[in-house]
């Protein structure tokens, strides 16, 4: 496999994870229209950003240990499907794709023994 393909497989899951975290963060913006006080808005914003914090934490783990990160992203997707009875697949499908890409990246970067 050539160097460009390896670089693409290295960066693609990371960039997609960051993009997904930004996408999830957009949903937190609805707290500003609720008429809360400053401190209530701050608490609500923090609560709405918890999924983003989890995704960023998993990304930081996956950045170093790709196989573990792949398992964690898959676990997040399955947990979301379990919680919502798979009513909305727009959230778990990107997580599954990122999981597979981290697994492929890990497999490609293995050094021959």
Per-residue pLDDT of the chain (113 residues; tens, 9 = 90+): 788 888 999 999 999 999 999 999 999 998 988 888 999 999 999 999 999 999 999 999 999 999 999 999 999 999 999 999 877 788 999 999 999 999 999 998 875 54
Residue 31's SS3 state is helix
Cβ count near 27 (within 10 Å): 13
Residue 96, token pair as written in the block: 């599954």
Residue 75's SS3 state is helix
Predicted local confidence at residue 112, as pLDDT: 55
What is the value of pTM for the model shown? 0.88
Pick from 101, 40, 47: nearest CA to 74: 101
Predicted local confidence at residue 23, as pLDDT: 95
Predicted local confidence at residue 111, as pLDDT: 58
User: Based on the number of CB atoms within 10 Å of its own CB, is 7 exposed (0-12), middle (13-18) or buried (19 or more)?
Assistant: exposed
CB 95, CB 73: distance < 8 Å? yes
CB 4, CB 108: distance < 8 Å? no
């Amino acid at each position: 496999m050539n160097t460009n393909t390896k670089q693409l497989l290295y960066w693609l899951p990371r960039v997609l994870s960051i993009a997904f975290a930004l996408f999830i963060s957009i949903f937190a913006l609805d707290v500003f229209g609720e008429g809360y006080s400053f401190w209530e808005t701050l608490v609500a914003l923090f609560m709405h950003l918890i999924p983003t914090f989890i995704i960023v934490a998993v990304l930081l783990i996956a950045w170093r240990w790709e196989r573990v990160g792949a398992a964690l992203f898959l676990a997040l997707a399955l947990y979301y499907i379990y919680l919502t009875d798979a009513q909305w697949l727009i959230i778990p499908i990107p997580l599954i794709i990122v999981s597979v890409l981290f697994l492929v990246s890990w497999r490609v970067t293995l050094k021959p023994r």
